[in-house]
Amino acid sequence: MIRSIRKYWPSRDQHQQVWSLAWPLMLSNITVPMLGLVDTAVIGHLPESYHLGAVAVGSMIFSIVYWSFGFLRMGTTGMTAQAFGDENGELNRQLLAQSMILAFVIGSLLLLFQQPIIQIALQLMDAEPIVDAEAQLYSEIRILGAPAVLCNYAILGWFVGNQNTRVPLLLLLVTNIMNMILDIIAVYGLGMHADGVAAATVCSEYFALGLGLYLIRRQLRKVPGELETACLNRLKDYRDLIVVNRYLFVRTLLLLGSLAFFTAQGAKQGTDILSANAVLLNFLILIANCLDGFAHATEALSGKHIGARRMEAFYQSITSALLWSLGTAGLLTLTFFLFGGLIVDLLTDIEQVRTIAREYLVWIVILPLIGVWSFLLDGIFVGTTQFRAMQNTMIFTMFVVFLPLWWATQSLGNHGLWLSLMSVFVARALSGGYVYWKICKHQRWINP
């Protein structure tokens, strides 16, 4: 037993590899919820709470719509990392081109069918009429960025798969800072509301795409081989990418469905509850993006080691990522325990929203230590392309745990709603941990 632990205990070099990949991703990931916090702060200081509610509803709709296609990042990362480990430059280039084409096609279809998508989403949210009207305006502007958003997913996934996390940091940092500045100009300079926040986001998304395409040209100089353009015109050559992405699509749709359900149920309890939950969900997204830095590093390293058939290094990188993740989770819990109330006060002047958010802040305090396991397991499964397992554990989580627990705890009001949301992280960790143990036991990481 001790010999096995020593064998898979990470060396100093392994810790350095994990950290060198993780810290740029953590910083770049943090810019995403920081943007949400700025959106909330800008709108939250307006006198009427329905503006904040509209941004909450609209943002959740596009979290669902766009991240339903998050497979364009995860699938690209896992397959590219394995191609990188196998030193297959031709496949590396092919995955980039096919992912970009697939992303552009899906984004164009979203634009084509925007009206039914927005109307159905707003009906499902079932917000108050004054919130619904402004959320529709927000949504009609935000969807214009669909092709850029999805192509950016493919770009980010490809860079991470190639063990380059500095570019995602640069892309997200520059574009989200630009977004924040445009938010302030639109709302305080031009007198806009939710529509200004949406327009600022769309402008930033297209700026990110242009910058990403420029940086791709530089990265391709380091990738050997040439792209066989014929593979871009044959549907059968997209088979592996489509099969992989099918599992991720179902998994991501269910995960985001749980967040949408949470937001919709909060909206039914009134605009103040909806707005307070929106503030706290920004904290949840911040936590998720911090811990995802190590999960993304695990994706890149585990995929590389699997592609190169280095199993000892594979387990060492997982152990190192686990240790760093646990330390970060503990730090996040301490931060929100000490300063969570202060941050709430900085985000909104509306006293009723402040009071409600403080009442439910305890769920955010415990979230990092509950959620850290599921985030890391996702990183392992993405890097090793165990996408069917990710789908199946999410199906179990949604229909066996989350929805039944919500039904049983409705009498607890918003506390019951938050308890149900926490169960998503617990169920994913337990079911994913079982799958991980089974695969380790039979050494089925590498597909024949």
One-letter amino acid at 239 equals: R
- Work out the burial of residue 165: count CB atoms within 10 Å of its CB; fewer than 13 is exposed, 13-18 middle, 19 or more buried: buried
Higher pLDDT: 94 or 349? It is 94
| DSSP result, 102-131 | HHHHHHHHHHHTHHHHHHHHHHHHT--HHH
Q: Residue 388 and residue 146: Cα distance in Å, rounded?
A: 26
Residue 2, pLDDT > 50, answer no
For the chain, the domain total comes to 1
Q: Quote the pLDDT of residue 30.
A: 66
Q: How many CA atoms lie within 13 A of 322 on its CB side?
A: 15
pTM of the model: 0.76
Residue 67 lies in a domain: yes
Average pLDDT over residues 389-401: 95
Does the pLDDT value for residue 35 go beyond 80?
no
The arithmetic mean of pLDDT across residues 96-124, rounded, is: 89
DSSP string, 357-377: HHHTHHHHHHHHHHHHHHHHH
> Is residue 447 assigned to a domain?
no
- Domain-embedded: residue 419: yes
Of 11, 22, 12, whose CA–CA distance to 300 is shortest? 22
pLDDT digits (tens, 9 = 90+) for 345-379: 887 778 888 999 999 999 999 999 999 999 999 98
Q: With respect to residue 318, please indicate whether it lies within any of the assigned structural domains.
A: yes
Residue 400 lies in domain: 2-442
Assess if residue 448 is contained within a domain.
no
What lies within 8 Å, CB to CB, of 185 at 6+ separation is 200
Q: What is the mean pLDDT of residues 155-165?
A: 88
- Residue 265 belongs to some domain of the structure: yes
Give the separation between CA 327 and CA 353, rounded to whole angstroms: 32
Percent of the chain with pLDDT over 90: 29
pLDDT digits (tens, 9 = 90+) for 187-217: 777 877 777 888 888 898 899 999 999 999 8
Would you say residue 403 lies in a domain?
yes
Is residue 267 included in any domain, yes or no? yes
What is the DSSP track for 269-307?
T-HHHHHHHHHHHHHHHHHHHHHHHHHHHHHHHHHHHHH
Angle at 399 between CA 394 and CA 401, to 5 degrees: 85
Residues 300-308, mean pLDDT to the nearest whole number: 82
